[in-house]
Amino acid sequence: MAKRSSIAHQWGFTLVELLVVIAVIGLVAALGLPSLNNAIYGAKVAKCISNLRQIGVGMLAHANDNNGLFPTAWDTAQQKSYSTFLVPYMQMDSVALSTVYSSPLSQPFTKAPSYWEPFNLSYSMHGLLGHENVDERVRLAAVKRPSETILLVTGVQVPSNYMRVDASLYNPSQLFWKANNTALDVAIPTNEDRGWPGYINKGKANVLYVAGNAGSLTKGDIRWRHLLPLRSD
């Protein structure tokens, strides 16, 4: 009796089936990409706000040890910013300390930190609270609205300064004398130039207030109340 030949059946994808699978995978990836991007961006915003809060802890510790004085925003003689003066007050390891002054929302810096410039700055300090002249520097106890007065804010990055921001938020502070008769709820100009707040969070500036609380202010929503520490009216 003749033996029946057996045919081995091999299973596989046809070209059409393979293209359908690739199309489905591409569609699923496209649908999930915006959510992933939003999650990544949200994490960067959270890290930026966390940085500000951590710096705030160091700022308040410095003030407590120095008769209510915050550190100098920029010391011309020593060529150092507030970040250097805060080192003894920042309770974190060297790796965390190396990144806490840089916002993940900032454009990339074009120069690495060095011995003379150990930190790339994303945050500018209020020019009066960190005034180089101690006699003109506003003390913590003198601030009338600590939960509203800006201590640090994401600044405008300066190409000529390796995309760092100026350590001192000096331009609004130079307008201090002009604002003595200005209502506290009047908005400051929104110049996007060095020494001004930088709105790097999708049109918002991330801020640290004197009291240690942090958050975001939309462009155009920063008022003189945020920059006049000695006014209570």
The tens digit of pLDDT for each residue in 180-215 reads: 678 899 999 898 899 999 999 999 999 999 999 999
* pLDDT score of 151: 98
Confidence of residue 38 (pLDDT cuts 50, 70, 90): confident
Number of separate domains in the chain: 1
Q: Output phi, psi for 145, to 5 deg.
A: -130, 70
Is 1 among the domain residues? no
pLDDT score, position 9: 53
| Res 116: pLDDT | 81
Does residue 9 fall inside a structural domain?
no
Q: For residue 180, what are the domain limits?
A: 19-226
- What pLDDT score does 4 carry? 52
Element holding 41 (H helix, E strand): helix 15-65
pTM for the structure as a whole: 0.84
Question: Which helix H or strand E contains 74, and what residues bound it?
Answer: strand 74-75
Res 177: pLDDT:
61
Per the CB < 8 A criterion, the answer to whether 164 and 121 are in contact is: yes
> For 58-70, how does the pLDDT look when each residue is reduced to its tens digit (9 = 90+)?
999 999 999 999 9
Give the percent of the chain with pLDDT over 70. 85
Is 11 part of a structural domain of the chain?
no
Q: CA 156 to CA 205: how far, in whole Å?
A: 10
How far apart are the C-alpha atoms of 164 and 152, rounded to whole Å?
14
Q: What is the pLDDT of residues 124-164, one digit of tens each?
A: 999 999 999 999 999 999 999 999 999 999 999 999 999 99
In a domain, 104, yes or no: yes
pLDDT of residue 16: 65
- The verdict on residue 3 lying in a domain is no
User: If you average pLDDT over every residue of the chain, what do you get?
Assistant: 88
Does residue 14 lie in a domain region?
A: no
Residue 8: inside a domain: no
Is residue 2 pLDDT above 60, yes or no?
no
In 66-93, which residue ranges form alpha helices assigned H by DSSP? 82-85
Contact 151, 125 (CB under 8 A): yes
The pLDDT of residue 178 is 58
